[in-house]
Amino acid sequence: MNVKRIVFIQSIILLTSIKAFSQGNDLYPDFEISLTESLHQSELRKPISYYLGKYVFVTEELAKNCETQYGEFKFRVNEKGIVDSLILSGNLRPFVVKKISDRIWSSSGRWKFTHLKENLKSYWFTYPFYQFVDPEASGCFTRGNASQTNLKLTYNVLFRLPYNSKGLLKIKDGYLIEPGSTEPYSKR
């Protein structure tokens, strides 16, 4: 099957699993960030994605790998705002997984659910994260191109979804967080 066709089919499946909710505050939890954190936040990222992906960089060593990397972090937050479970999948390097996992665990206490319509004991969140490489800088013009193209298409679909101002989108089984990514490493 053609790579673009697979990405298209995956995108359709994802989009059909998203419930058509209004962006009302009674559907979304609050995520607290300090004033200092909000001042240092990237204008391109919404608060939650920025917080979770902070301190993750593409190094020269990673760029030489020639392979775009992807990870999906599914975590559960209990009604008190404490992260109590984390499930990982993907091919991210262990040090990247550790940095993002540490940020997820450190988000405990920042989640507030008191105003939500549905009063559940726990809430699930999914955070997709991508690490792209620059084929020119890495010297790998053909290796990994299909993977990078496929993941860039998926990233672009996910990035364009209608997230709220904090970077959350209500989906069937919880919340999707705006995807995080690193810029390709370049020696230029």
| Tens digits of pLDDT across the chain (188 residues) | 565 665 555 655 555 444 444 445 567 888 877 666 655 555 555 688 888 888 776 666 665 667 788 999 999 999 899 999 999 999 998 988 999 999 999 999 999 887 776 777 899 999 999 988 776 665 666 655 667 788 889 999 999 999 998 899 999 889 999 999 886 655 54
pLDDT in the model for residue 21: 42
The Cβ of residue 19 has, within 10 Å, a number of other Cβ atoms equal to 9
pLDDT in the model for residue 39: 55
pLDDT in the model for residue 16: 46
pLDDT in the model for residue 22: 40
pLDDT in the model for residue 67: 76
CA 27 vs. chain centroid, Å, equals 20
CA dihedral of residues 32, 163, 53, 99 (deg, nearest 10): 80
Report d(CA 117, CA 90) in Å as an integer: 33
Report d(CA 151, CA 4) in Å as an integer: 10
Q: Domain map of the chain by residue range?
A: 3-182
Tell me: the pLDDT tens digits for 29-51? 888 776 666 555 555 556 888 88
